Amino acid sequence: MSKLPEWRTDPARGEENRRASRSEELIRAAGGDVLPSLPLIETASEVKLRKPSEVAQRILCLVVVSAKSSGEVDDEQMMDWARGESFWEHLSVRETEFLADDDPDEQTRVHMSWQIEAAIPLLWALGSPLEMGMMLESQASRVVLDRVPQLGDPTLEFVSSATLRPVDQILDESDLIYRVHWAARNEQLGGRDTPDAWDYGVIMERHKALNWLICYGEEDGEGNWDLVGTDT
């Protein structure tokens, strides 16, 4: 076991250190690797979270993009509906371009299909009883679709009634996926193997979603979904 850096035992950073230690314990128990010198994330008093309505609208954006990528919906009907809902204004540039493309290439379609995984931590953050923590396998899109308005239905109530979990819970998950992502990237660089159940695509999307939720790397909280960083 790697020795903790001195700053990892600083009593003044008790909240961050307890959170990091919790994450490392979970990762080790699952068979993953840890790096004790990874930086600590923000405290509850420092972090700025997205508004609940923003989170709900982002989920709807992800659902629509994923629906188009599936090729199983009527694009014209879906677009007519989406343009009339408030989340339409929250689509990113890439998402808007994808939705407007009548014949997207396969690589783009596959990339966009993965975004449904990013909706899972955001739904969890709004209180849905979804399994997070070390459940790092891909979940069926039905897990998301059963918890959001159906295509064609009004979305106002879903957006206006949204509330967030306590900030400490959200930061616990943010710290955990950050350290999980380091382990997964380290494996790609020739480091210790990660558990077979860890899906790198899931880890990437979950990390992106949670970083967006906590406004990672932003000063004004007005970040572009397309540019959210997943540094490790």
Instruction: Kindly state whether residues 154 and 181 are assigned to the same domain.
Output: no
The Cα 33–Cα 172 span in angstroms is 18
User: pLDDT tens, 33-75?
Assistant: 999 999 999 999 999 999 999 999 999 999 999 999 988 889 9
Q: What is the DSSP string of 100-114?
A: H-SS--HHHHHHHHT
Task: Examine the domain organization and report whether 156 and 101 are in the same domain.
Answer: yes
Same domain, 204 and 119: no
Q: What percent of the chain has pLDDT over 90?
A: 88
Residue 2 lies in a domain: no
String of DSSP letters for 18-41: HHHHHHHHHHHHHT----TTSPP-
Average pLDDT along the chain: 94
- Are residues 117 and 151 located together in one domain of the fold? yes
| Residue 1 forms part of a structural domain | no
Residues 181 and 99 occupy one common structural domain: no
Asked if residue 210 is part of any domain, the answer here is: yes
Q: How many domains does the chain have?
A: 2
State which residues form the domain around 193: 15-48+165-220
